[in-house]
Structure 1
Amino acid sequence: MAITRPPDVGGRTDGEVIGASRGEPERFAEIFQRHWDEIYRYIAQRLGPESAEDVGAETFAVAFRGRQRYDQTRNDARPWLYGIATNLIRQHWRVERRHRRLLARADAQAAGESFDQASDERLTAQRLAPRIASALARLSAAERDLLLLIAWADLTYEEAAQALDVPPGTVGSRLYRIRRKLRRSLGDTNPLRLPEVDA
């Protein structure tokens, strides 16, 4: 499903608004208003709604603090925001993984499964058929991040490259390898042609 980009407020691009917010910090609220819903949805798909509010708020807080470094020639701030959100999602998973290890060491209630399995089950329950979730579990975290930025966030290759801070050509070659891996995992079925599963 294609994402409809919010219209420019008063004809100003994201780059112009962020540039103006360097001298007038309150102007950054326009960036929040334009992009909150989309960034929140992406984070909720990755982490679930319980964590999405906090990670979403932190995404915009990090963006606000880093607005001085934003390249104003980039008219659309979405790739930048998705990159920040992706990094915060990884941090969230690392903290959760560490927390689980501490609980296990303290002989508290043992988590019955690894963090990666729990994450994959959350993805499965929310959006994906079990066979596809199993195939996704075999991808590295970086491969999953790239695939989900393209599939769920509906970013272009160039936008995904900006979000992950890699060259655009790298996105194309990585996606090619990811698709081949998924096809093999699914018994040479094209994952792009699998029937939709009702949520």
Structure 2
Amino acid sequence: MRRGTAGDAYSGQRDFNALFEEHYDAVHRYARRRVGPDHADDVASEAFVVAWRRAERMPPGRELPWLYACARRITLAHLRRDQRQDLIAESLSRRPGAAVHADDADRVVERAGALAALARLTEQERELVMLVTWEGLDCRQAARVVGCTHVTARARLHRARKRLNAHMNESTPDHAPKEAAWTT
């Protein structure tokens, strides 16, 4: 997708349009699961803006993992921004006379055992589990997204699954072992 002459630009635009059509929905779903529906459009759009600007850096045949890695970096930036805003809101709510309102969505998330167990994993473990189970990437592709070797990713994924199962078993009242649906 290099852009040079007018003919090259047209060809590059066609290539980009095909890339967009093929992968936008997957990148949007990825973003939606990480930042929610309010910001998913922004993250997916920003990922494709980066793809357009850096088309020559995109490895042929591995566009989707490259786009996921790009969306991941954008997502992390959005999360950092949201954390800063939450800290500001929290400091403002500590002022005398400020009303405390619990968010119903937060209570729903807290009650969801699987999400709570997932949240107890490290950021890299959580990202690997989600890339493999929700995004359908294999271990090598997920390793490229998080920036490590496939051997390291496989070991981290194994440990993450064991920890996830342990956390899930802790949350069940009868402590009966249960098989997690995300093992592949």
Q: TM-score when scaled to structure 2? A: 0.77
Unaligned 5+ segments in structure 2 are 170-176
Aligned residues between the structures: 166
Q: Post-superposition shift, 1:193? A: 7.6
Provide the C-alpha distance between the structure 2 equivalents of 1:44 and 1:178, rounded to a whole number of angstroms. 22
| Residue 81 of structure 2 corresponds to residue 99 of structure 1 | no
Letter in 2 for 1:102: I
Per the alignment, residue 12 of structure 1 pairs with none
**Of 61, 78, 87, the match for 2:64:** 78
Unaligned 5+ segments in structure 1 are 1-18, 195-199
Q: Post-superposition shift, 1:157? A: 0.9
Q: Is the 8 A contact 1:63 1:81 kept in 2?
A: yes
SS in 1 for 2:65: helix
Cα deviation, 1:87-134, whole Å, max 9, x if unaligned, reads 111111110000111233345868867xxx95xx78x59xxx822112
Q: Post-superposition shift, 1:70? A: 2.1
**Of 61, 69, 88, the match for 2:74:** 88
The share of aligned pairs that are identical, in percent, is 28
Flag the 1:106–1:150 CA change in 2: closer, same or farther, 3 A: same
Per the alignment, residue 124 of structure 2 pairs with 142
Q: TM-score when scaled to structure 1? A: 0.72
Provide the C-alpha distance between the structure 1 equivalents of 2:100 and 2:43, rounded to a whole number of angstroms. 23
Q: Post-superposition shift, 1:26? A: 1.8
Which structure has the higher relative contact order (CA within 8 Å, separation 6+)?
A: 1
| Residue 8 of structure 2 corresponds to residue 26 of structure 1 | no
Per the alignment, residue 38 of structure 1 pairs with 26
